[in-house]
């Protein structure tokens, strides 16, 4: 009996020790599980933060100092000249409005001198500033305010209404410039920032969005010859932003904010910017030549197709058939005649009228355009000097 109790006691002691050891081990296992779970959560959080959109602090710091506020006004004298010339300043525009309605270019005075505000981007340290033509094109009194509150009177170096771009100059040195990006490398889905002065009083405002499309043609720039290949974004842009900067995540300039798609006149989801590669080409042209006026060839006709080939007994199966040559045009003075089939413009093969537009995209009054035409089965090269007023 005594031996039995000794065995029972030993069993109880051993069980207690075993249970205690098991509990300790289980507790440690649970702790390790909890710690591992916490570590996994931390790892997950770190990993997630790396995949979340980065902040735009650095890009904003780079871009904001080089975006200026522009105040533009038309003098009484210029307004009188406009009225005497019976110029209709109200066009069709996007959703029935002008670009000026959207971005402050005289939107608050339709019958007297026009005035408005917008934005601009410092192009060079010595005071050249890029903006939109619809911001300053109507004005002869232009003031520029920098982010450091310094104010300057600006002169208009020149404008290009066909691309809605303008170049200003202020007398200043060592101005903050913005790094130039490459809009051709811009990707759909890439983050971008819009920097500008919406509604005049919200100065130096930064908004973010993504590139949602490239190469948009919206038919919002007035004129027979226009250049439109907008970058479409969903960065918020409003009246006053026009002429401001569209920058990538590194703070490089990739576009000039120009228009919005809206039925109301304020931001409704989509904004449009002129690609910087196009901007630079035109701005350098303005810098050298001043105002730029685009010109047409002065021809009218049809794209060549199978039916036209058969009807006109043509010896080529693609191109643009000239039916009419406008009196006084460069084409008339250069010897283009009805019946000619334009097959090349400036070494670009012509399949339809759009190829002619592409070949003449940057051509202006005074430039010479090289045409290759097929006339009664004979190929000819004709140099056409573009003339004003067409």
The answer to whether the beta carbons of residues 103 and 70 sit under 8 Å apart is no
Q: What share of the chain is helix, strand, coil (3-state, %, to 5)?
A: 30, 30, 40
Average pLDDT estimate for 285-295: 91
Q: What are the extents of the domains in the chain?
A: 1-45, 66-169, 183-276, 299-385
What is residue 131's predicted lDDT score, i.e. its pLDDT? 98
More confident residue, 184 or 113: 184
For residues 326-337, give the mean pLDDT.
93
C-alpha distances (whole Å) from 340 to each of 146, 362, 382 are 55, 24, 11
Can you tell me which residue has the tokens 């066009």?
Answer: 91
389: left (phi over 0), alpha (psi -120 to 50) or beta: left
Q: Which residues pair with 35 in a beta bridge?
A: none
Residue recorded with tokens 């010339």: 85
CB 203 within 8 A of CB 148: no
134 is catalytic: yes
Mean pLDDT of the chain: 82
Residue 5, number of CB atoms within 10 A of its CB: 9
- Active-site residue, from 119, 162, 183, 242: 242
Over range 156-162, report the average pLDDT. 95
Confidence check: pLDDT of 224 > 90: no
Measuring CA to CA, how many Å separate 206 from each of 135, 176, 181, 209, 249? 20, 17, 18, 10, 12
Among candidate residues 119, 134, 160, 252, the one labeled active-site is 134
Residues 190, 193: Cα–Cα separation, whole Å: 10
Residue 27 pLDDT grade (very low, low, confident, very high; cuts 50, 70, 90)? low
Catalytic one of 98, 160, 164, 285: 164
Give the whole-angstrom CA distance, residue 90 versus residue 239. 17
Confidence of residue 281 (pLDDT cuts 50, 70, 90): very high
- Give the highest mean pLDDT range of 119-133, 216-230, 362-376: 119-133
> In terms of DSSP H, where are the helices of the chain?
2-51, 57-63, 76-84, 99-103, 133-136, 276-289, 306-312, 330-334, 353-359
Please say if 58 is a catalytic residue.
Answer: no
311-327 residue pLDDT tens: 999 999 999 999 999 99
183-276 matches 299-385 in fold? no
What pLDDT score was predicted for residue 89? Answer: 46
What fold does the segment set 66-169 form as a domain?
A: Thrombin, subunit H (2.40.10)
What is the mean predicted confidence (pLDDT) over 116-122? 96
Q: In CATH terms, is domain 299-385 a member of 2.30.42.10?
A: yes
Please name which of 244, 247, 248 lies closest in space to residue 259, comparing C-alpha atoms. 244
- Which residues are paired to 158 by β-bridges? 167
Question: Under CATH, which number does the domain 183-276 receive?
Answer: 2.40.10.10
Whether 242 is catalytic is: yes
- The mean-pLDDT minimum among 4-13, 194-203, 279-288, 360-369 falls in 4-13
């Amino acid at each position: 009996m005594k031996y039995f109790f000794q065995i029972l006691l030993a069993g109880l002691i051993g069980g207690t020790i075993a249970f205690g050891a098991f509990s300790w081990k289980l507790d440690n296992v649970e702790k390790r599980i909890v710690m591992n779970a916490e570590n996994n959560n931390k790892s997950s959080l770190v990993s997630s933060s790396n995949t979340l959109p980065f902040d735009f602090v650095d890009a904003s710091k780079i871009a904001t100092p080089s975006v200026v506020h522009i105040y533009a006004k038309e003098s009484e004298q210029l307004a009188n000249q406009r009225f005497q010339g019976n110029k209709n300043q109200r066009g069709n525009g996007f959703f029935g409005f002008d670009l000026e309605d959207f971005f402050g270019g005289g939107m608050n005075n339709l019958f007297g001198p026009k005035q408005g505000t917008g934005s601009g981007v410092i192009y060079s340290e010595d005071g050249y500033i890029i903006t939109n033509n619809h911001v300053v094109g109507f004005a002869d009194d232009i003031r520029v305010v920098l982010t450091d509150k310094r104010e300057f009177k600006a002169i208009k170096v020149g404008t290009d209404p066909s691309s809605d771009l303008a170049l200003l100059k202020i007398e200043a040195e060592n101005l903050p410039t913005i790094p130039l990006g490459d809009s051709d490398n811009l990707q759909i889905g890439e983050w971008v920032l819009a920097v500008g002065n919406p509604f005049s009083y919200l100065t130096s405002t930064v908004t973010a969005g993504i590139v949602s499309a490239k190469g948009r043609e919206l038919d919002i720039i007035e004129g027979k010859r226009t250049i439109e290949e907008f970058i479409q974004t969903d960065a918020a842009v409003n009246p006053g932003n026009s002429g401001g900067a569209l920058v990538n995540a590194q703070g490089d300039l990739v576009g000039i904010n120009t228009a919005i798609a809206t039925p109301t006149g304020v931001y409704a989801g989509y904004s449009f910017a002129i690609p910087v590669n196009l901007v630079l080409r035109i701005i350098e042209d303005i810098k050298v030549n001043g105002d730029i006026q685009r010109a047409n060839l002065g021809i009218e006709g049809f794209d060549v197709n199978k039916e036209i080939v058969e009807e006109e007994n043509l010896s080529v199966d693609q191109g643009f058939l000239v039916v009419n040559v406008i009196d006084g045009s460069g084409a008339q003075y250069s010897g283009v005649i009805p019946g000619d089939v334009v097959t090349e413009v400036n070494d670009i093969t012509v399949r339809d009228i759009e190829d002619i537009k592409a070949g003449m995209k940057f051509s202006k009054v005074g430039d010479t355009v090289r045409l290759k035409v097929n006339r009664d089965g004979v190929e000819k090269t004709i140099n056409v000097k573009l003339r004003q007023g067409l």
